[in-house]
Chain A
Amino acid sequence: MIPETIDAARNGDAGAFALIVERYRQSVFRICVRILGDGDEAEDAVQETFVRAWQSLQGYDPRYSIATWLRTIACRLCYDVLRRRTRRQQYELDACRQGSGDGSGDPESLRMSRELENLFRKAASGLSPMQRTVFVLAEIEQLPSDEVHRITGWSAVQIKSNLYIARKKVRKAIEKEL
């Protein structure tokens, strides 16, 4: 993203901010949908992420990537949603929920993508919010551990141990499902 666009958005230019939204909405959505496991909730989280980003753009540190900053807001939102869900004991897998397909437009790849996302939802349903967040960021998004640390604020040991447990659980679930 061009620094001038970010500066303009920081100065209150909504048009410049719209460019930021267009540029990053998909990557933010991808993380949200995988952490939350629900397309509608993920869209709400994306909306909330960008609204919060707009409100706090003055506090954005340009030394860091805006993508990381947006991921941080999105992850915090999704993590809170997951924790509330767990607290209400409503963290049940709803296989009927509409996922999101691959953007290629091909019906076959769309079906395959939805099957994959559904399988992931089932496999990840046994993970705690922390394990799920770390798993999505480190294993699927392949972010380096220092970036996962920057996003989540969790220690290297916490990230490592949660990732280890999450991998073990998902592997077990995948082998059972396939």
Chain B
Amino acid sequence: MDRYTDFIEKMRGSHPQMPHQEEVTGRILERIQTLPQSGAKTATALQKTPVIRLRRAIPALVGIAAAALMVCAPLTARLKADTAVRTDISSLNMRTYAAMSRPDAQLEHYRRIKALKQSVTGLEDRAAKPQDHENRH
């Protein structure tokens, strides 16, 4: 028999006695004289009550909220930027699905359209100049 088993066997065989049995019993009986009996169940299991559960869940909930905020803040900023680009693009005359699919594509498409518009405006200006010259003569 090893030390542990020997120790446990001795513990099982030992019956510690309450030193002040009669005093404790007397105090119990004295206290119950003034206490009414109720139907409340106090001997439920060692499960956590809803209040304890809630109190313990508070730090976790705060953590989850902080994490959500940290994730959501950049996303919201990006969403705002995307909305601004989208609004800008919506004023342009374009119906390309690809241009609406990703913000990068939208920007690229926007720049290309803007460049084309500028070049078209330039060409129109240049085309208009000789006409003026011709008209003058």
Partner of A56, one of B11, B12, B19, B40: B40
B17 to A59, Cβ gap below 8 A?
no
Within 8 A of A (CB), among B27-64: 27-29, 31-33, 35-47
Contacts of A46 in B (CB 8 A): 18, 24
Asked if A73 is an interface residue, CB under 8 A from chain B, the answer is yes
Asked if A93 is an interface residue, CB under 8 A from chain B, the answer is no
Contact with A along B1-35 (1 / 0, CB 8 A): 00110011011101111111100110111011101
Within 8 A of B (CB), among A7-30: 10, 12, 14, 17-18, 21-22, 25-26, 29-30
B11 to A140, Cβ gap below 8 A?
yes
A43 to B18, Cβ gap below 8 A?
yes
Given the interface pairs A56-B41, A171-B4, the reply to whether A153 lies near B19 with Cβ below 8 Å is no
| Residue in B3, B24, B40, B47 whose Cβ sees the most chain A Cβ within 10 Å | B24
Nearest opposing residue in chain A for B21, CB measure: A25
Q: For the complex, what is the distance from the CA of A131 to the CA of B131, rounded to whole Å?
A: 98
Is chain A's binding surface mostly helix, strand, loop or mixed? helix
A50 to B39, Cβ gap below 8 A?
no
A174 to B16, Cβ gap below 8 A?
no
Within 8 A of A (CB), among B74-109: none
Q: For the complex, what is the distance from the CA of A103 to the CA of B20, rounded to whole Å?
A: 12
Contacts of A75 in B (CB 8 A): 46
Contacts of A95 in B (CB 8 A): none
A154 to B46, Cβ gap below 8 A?
yes
Partner of A29, one of B12, B18, B33: B18
Asked if A52 is an interface residue, CB under 8 A from chain B, the answer is yes
Asked if A76 is an interface residue, CB under 8 A from chain B, the answer is yes
A21 to B29, Cβ gap below 8 A?
yes
Contact with B along A84-121 (1 / 0, CB 8 A): 00000000000000111111000000000100110110
Contacts of A175 in B (CB 8 A): 3-4
Q: For the complex, what is the distance from the CA of A114 to the CA of B7, rounded to whole Å?
A: 13
Contacts of B14 in A (CB 8 A): 102, 113, 116-117
B32 to A51, Cβ gap below 8 A?
yes
Given the interface pairs A54-B37, A116-B10, the reply to whether A170 lies near B28 with Cβ below 8 Å is no
For this complex, 20 residue pairs linking A to B, each with C-beta atoms less than 8 Å apart, are A21-B28, A47-B27, A50-B28, A51-B35, A52-B42, A56-B43, A58-B40, A59-B38, A59-B41, A59-B42, A59-B43, A60-B43, A73-B43, A103-B15, A103-B16, A113-B14, A140-B12, A151-B45, A152-B46, A174-B3
Known: A113-B14, A117-B16, A167-B4. 14 other contacts (CB 8 A): A10-B37, A17-B32, A21-B29, A25-B18, A51-B28, A56-B38, A58-B37, A58-B39, A59-B42, A69-B43, A100-B19, A102-B17, A140-B12, A171-B4
